[in-house]
Structure 1
Amino acid sequence: MIGSTMPGAIDTAILLAAGEGSRLRSHQISKPLCPVGGTSLLAHAIHRLHRAGLSRVLVVTGYRGDLVERHVASASWPIEIRIVANTDWHLPNGISALAAAEALAGAPALLAMGDHLVEPEIYRRLRDAGAGPGLRLGTDRRLDSDLVDPLDVTRVLTEGNRIAALGKEMERYDAYDVGIFAVGPAFFDALSGLAAPSITDGVRALIPGDKAEIVDCTGLRWIDVDDPPALAKAEAIDAASW
């Protein structure tokens, strides 16, 4: 067991910044450092986590982690930052989440993607909701949102406040995954019991035990900036001002 208790409120975020980001390579060799409105995606996330009331961020690095670490070291931040290096960054993203688990010492955490621009209220809403019996995922029921790529987003089927299923290829769904989670020890235990797990795999492992729940974030703005069209959209709508 990685942890067995979830003491206190969530004050730490895990920010995944380990992926290769090949679709944005023409704009920036390291996706977390890709600028939106003149500020890197990584810096946007860190400042928004601070505004949402978090006090510490574990930045998980991988591909070109040297550049990310240099970026973090080159600036002053309003929040404590710790770098966690994932040498297996080429494996699914659940490995990056597991890399940060030891630093949590069994406490719950916010789990966020380094390439997402979101309103701070989304972070705050998940922080306040907590991890529940295993994890809680922020969801958006606006299935016609022009900020979402319907061919790339993870789809979610819900039953009340529970996650019934999720995946990119599902035909029946009623919400989108916004990419922000509140996670507890049960989530990390689920990941550690799987070979090369993705975060989606970890969520799916908790569904049969009713340990995967949702927090409705419908009406709040978010965008996954993982390719040039999404980057252009983020710039055009001035997502940096959220």
Structure 2
Amino acid sequence: MRTIILAAGRGSRLGPLTDQRPKSLVPLAGIPLLTRLLNALRTAGLSDITIVTGYQSDLINKAAPGCRTLHSPRWAHTNMAASLLVAADAGLLEDGAVISYSDIVVEPRVVTTLLSAPRAPLTLPVNTAWLDVWSERMADPLADAERLILDANGRLLDIGGAPRGLHEVHAQFMGLLRLDPDGARQLISFYRDALDADSAAEHWDTTTLLSAWLNAGGTAHTVPVRGGWLEVDTPEDKDRYEELHRLGRLAAICALDTTEKDGDNR
């Protein structure tokens, strides 16, 4: 299955760490986030990989040999949903695809779980152990967690926005989703219509797109995964994960050794 990595943004929340490089090339325990992600994807069996670039795109081109790249010319004025449209315009979603953020760390088992899930138009893995990550990152996990509500069968009912309590956080989105051909066609068509109705939709991130899709009657299925995932949003996140790694405690949340290789991405 084809994979699309959305890597156009700078990652301004990381402050000076992205002054000279995109967020996806910020190292965690000495290895760039993108290198870790590519290793995990390839270990899970995904080799047809396209990266949508923007900020400092030349650096990503050099860091990802063997990957196709597409440049988003309006990266500074758009968000992740618009980056997805770049891939669609290039005809890369017609047969379905796995879509991934570029600033996540995932164990290969997260990807294989997604790939082995029953076929559906739109499927996303969700981290049921999200609270372990957020409790290490911040004093109040609800200060940054997003609302994510599932029904008893794992269908996604609501996503995005601030939760009113833990009862509205059944899990957390992991920055990965799988589209089959029908799902890709329907989601992209929906997004194009949203852009025609309101140009502000070019600023939608992925969860905003999914939320709007659900509100319009679309469906999304989930597959539960316990741990095996990190997101790196701030310098404090990076420092905390590296501290936990040095202490030997990070593996209980996400085992970096499953994504650590020599950086050869062939």
Length-normalised TM-score, structure 1: 0.84
Cα distance in 1 for residues equivalent to 2:38 and 2:257: 14
- Structure 2: segments with no counterpart, 5+ residues: 196-201, 246-254, 259-266
- Structure 1: segments with no counterpart, 5+ residues: 1-10, 74-79
Out of 204, 210, 215, the position equivalent to 2:223 is: 215
Contact 1:152 1:168 in 2 (8 A): no
Contact 1:147 1:222 in 2 (8 A): no
Q: Give the CA deviation at 1:147.
A: 4.7
**Residue number in structure 1 paired with 2:111:** 123
**Residue number in structure 2 paired with 1:50:** 42
**Residue number in structure 1 paired with 2:159:** 166
Contact 2:54 2:73 in 1 (8 A): yes
Cα distance in 1 for residues equivalent to 2:49 and 2:145: 25
Q: Give the CA deviation at 1:48.
A: 0.7
**Residue number in structure 2 paired with 1:85:** 71
Q: Give the CA deviation at 1:105.
A: 4.9
Q: Give the CA deviation at 1:97.
A: 1.1
Kindly indicate which of the two structures has a greater share of residues assigned to strand: 1
**Residue number in structure 2 paired with 1:194:** 194
**Residue number in structure 1 paired with 2:211:** 204
Q: 1:32 to 1:143 in 2, by over 3 A?
A: closer
Per-residue CA shift, 1:15-74, capped at 9, x if unaligned?
11111112224234321111112211111111110001112111110111122123235x
Q: Give the CA deviation at 1:119.
A: 0.9
Kindly indicate which of the two structures has a greater share of residues assigned to helix: 2
Query: Letter of the aligned partner of 2:220 in structure 1?
Result: A
State the secondary structure of the residue aligned to 1:19: coil
State the secondary structure of the residue aligned to 2:35: helix
Q: How many matched pairs?
A: 224
Q: Give the CA deviation at 1:210.
A: 4.8
Per-residue CA shift, 1:170-223, capped at 9, x if unaligned?
322322111111123222222222221321232123325352111111x23211
**Residue number in structure 1 paired with 2:96:** 108
**Residue number in structure 1 paired with 2:54:** 62
Q: Give the CA deviation at 1:152.
A: 2.8
Q: 1:212 to 1:122 in 2, by over 3 A?
A: same
**Residue number in structure 2 paired with 1:232:** 239
Query: Letter of the aligned partner of 2:174 in structure 1?
Result: V
Cα distance in 1 for residues equivalent to 2:131 and 2:93: 40
State the secondary structure of the residue aligned to 2:17: coil
Superposed CA RMSD in Å reads 2.1
Cα distance in 2 for residues equivalent to 1:112 and 1:131: 18
Query: Letter of the aligned partner of 1:31 in structure 2?
Result: K
Cα distance in 1 for residues equivalent to 2:119 and 2:33: 25
Query: Letter of the aligned partner of 1:162 in structure 2?
Result: R
Query: Letter of the aligned partner of 2:74 in structure 1?
Result: D
Q: 1:103 to 1:39 in 2, by over 3 A?
A: farther
Q: Give the CA deviation at 1:12.
A: 1.3
Seq. identity, %: 28
**Residue number in structure 2 paired with 1:7:** none
Cα distance in 2 for residues equivalent to 1:124 and 1:237: 26
Cα distance in 2 for residues equivalent to 1:105 and 1:96: 12
Farther-moved stretch of structure 1 (145-154 vs 93-102): 145-154
Contact 1:121 1:220 in 2 (8 A): no
